[in-house]
Structure 1
Amino acid sequence: MEKTLSRTETSEAVSDAGWRFVLGTLQTSVPVGSLAEAARITSLVVGTCGDDADQHLRVDVRPTRVILTLQSLAHAAATTRDIDLAHQISAAVQEAGSRTAPDTTPEAPRSVQLIELGIDALDIAAIRPFWKAALGYAPEAGADGPTDPLIDPLGQGPAIWFQQMDHPRPQRNRIHLDISVPHDEAPHRLKAALAAGGHLLSDLRAPSFWVLSDPEGNEACITTWQGRDN
């Protein structure tokens, strides 16, 4: 039976296959040399997933790589079925002469990531309908409460979540970015952001997240799945 595992179990189950657990999804990318090759890889992956493709697989096709995401739409989470599909896809891609393992050389482009937009609010239930309507967003499966996050149903824009404020904070920005990266890439991303003029505001919750700011105080968090469960 399809079920969800802990974050640690999920990450460990797919890392050796070249996938990374990022923000409730399994992600990897396959390097390609052309859009035609990307289309062939996509066809191979969809065929490997079979009847599960529509409910578990998302594909972003580019001339240089194919980005693959696995997540159960019914559970809004990566499940044991997604783990099985990840291993099957990696085996099929490898047999076709390509790879799902990330390129970790310094000059390589980044692998995978997901962006969330965090909005501070005194009354989340009052502002959530506005953002839902203005962006054409929708709730995740099974999570349509008055304070729940919103997602782009087409998967093109960042997810939005709402942070409860106890009192107004006019002295700081009320919108910040959460950049969810593979856990083993977070130290490099943190180092690069600081070297580019950023400031570390807090690492009290690391490795779940580090709070950074740009030189003018605008905030962003580098986040991973680690530290959120055992």
Structure 2
Amino acid sequence: MKRSEIQDAVGDLGWRYVLGTIRATVPVGSIGQAAEVAARCAAAAGDERLQLQLTRDHVLLTLPAEAIEPARRLTAAVREAGLATEPGGTQLVELAIDALDIPAVKPFWRAIFAYEDEQGYPNAVVDPLGVGPAVWFQQMDAPRPQRNRIHFDISVPHDEAPARIEAALAAGGTLVSAAHAPAFWVLADAEGNEACITTWQGRD
């Protein structure tokens, strides 16, 4: 189906086509109600690949782009509970990193985020839990002499930090600074793009 056809099929139900998926939110009044909605939706989805994210304010529903009939079933299940599927909060965030040598920098970012390769997209890595934003790499045709203007902070459990740093270094990264460890370590990929591994330690 074309993207416009998918959106037309689910738009009146409160769903929106976003980056290869269809997504909707269900506003709720408590985490208990969110759990009830999630259970209803899981039952209605059957074997369909439904992703659920719960907060005390809403439940975010994500389905594959062409799962039109499951979206209808989920909306019906939500309406039976006196609630509604709505389009608010259905955005997806991706991070793009410019690179001259993508094969040289991609392993660093896969390691530092603890991500995996995205199926069918050789220049992207994704969160295996489906929570964090995807990271993709854009081919540059000339180096930029200035220092990069953005970096990422990855906050991890304190006892996971050494392994994450070791993996990033093994993947071609460099340790820029450990002056503030264990609060944070500054690392960089093969082209100098920086990221910090941070923990709660050393901040008291």
Quote the Cα distance in structure 1 between the aligned partners of 2:99 and 2:70.
39
Residues 120 and 164 in structure 1, CA contact (< 8 A), matched pair in contact too: yes
Q: Does 1:39 align with 2:35?
A: yes
Structure 1 or 2, whichever has the larger Rg, is: 2
Q: 2:132 is matched with which residue?
A: 157
Residues 119 and 174 in structure 1, CA contact (< 8 A), matched pair in contact too: no
TM-score by length of 1: 0.61
Residue 24 of structure 1 deviates from its aligned partner by 1.1
Q: 1:215 is matched with which residue?
A: none
Cα-to-partner distance string for 1:73-109 (whole Å, 9 max, x where unaligned):
xxxxx22xx111111111111122100034xxxxxxx
Q: 1:95 is matched with which residue?
A: 80
Residues 120 and 174 in structure 1, CA contact (< 8 A), matched pair in contact too: no
Bigger fraction of residues in strand: 2
What is the alpha-carbon root mean square deviation over aligned residues?
A: 2.0
Residue 138 of structure 1 deviates from its aligned partner by 0.9
Instruction: Please give the secondary structure, in 2, of the residue aligned with 1:114.
Output: coil
Q: 2:189 is matched with which residue?
A: none
Residue 170 of structure 1 deviates from its aligned partner by 3.0
In the TM superposition, what are the counterparts of 1:45-56 in structure 2 within 5 Å? 45-52=41-48, 56=49
Quote the Cα distance in structure 1 between the aligned partners of 2:8 and 2:146.
41
Which ranges in structure 2 are unaligned for 5 or more consecutive residues? 153-204
Residue 173 of structure 1 deviates from its aligned partner by 4.5
Quote the Cα distance in structure 2 between the aligned partners of 1:175 and 1:8.
35
**Amino acid aligned to 1:161:** W
**Amino acid aligned to 1:41:** V
Quote the Cα distance in structure 1 between the aligned partners of 2:36 and 2:79.
13
Which ranges in structure 1 are unaligned for 5 or more consecutive residues? 72-77, 103-109, 178-230
Quote the Cα distance in structure 2 between the aligned partners of 1:119 and 1:84.
36
Residue 34 of structure 1 deviates from its aligned partner by 0.9
CA separation of 1:101 and 1:17: change in aligned 2, threshold 3 A: same
Residue 171 of structure 1 deviates from its aligned partner by 4.4
Instruction: Please give the secondary structure, in 2, of the residue aligned with 1:67.
Output: strand
Residues 17 and 87 in structure 1, CA contact (< 8 A), matched pair in contact too: yes
Q: Does 1:84 align with 2:62?
A: no
Question: 61, 67, 70: which one pairs with 2:60?
Answer: 67
Q: 2:114 is matched with which residue?
A: 136
Paired residues, number: 152
CA separation of 1:85 and 1:63: change in aligned 2, threshold 3 A: same
Quote the Cα distance in structure 2 between the aligned partners of 1:141 and 1:165.
23
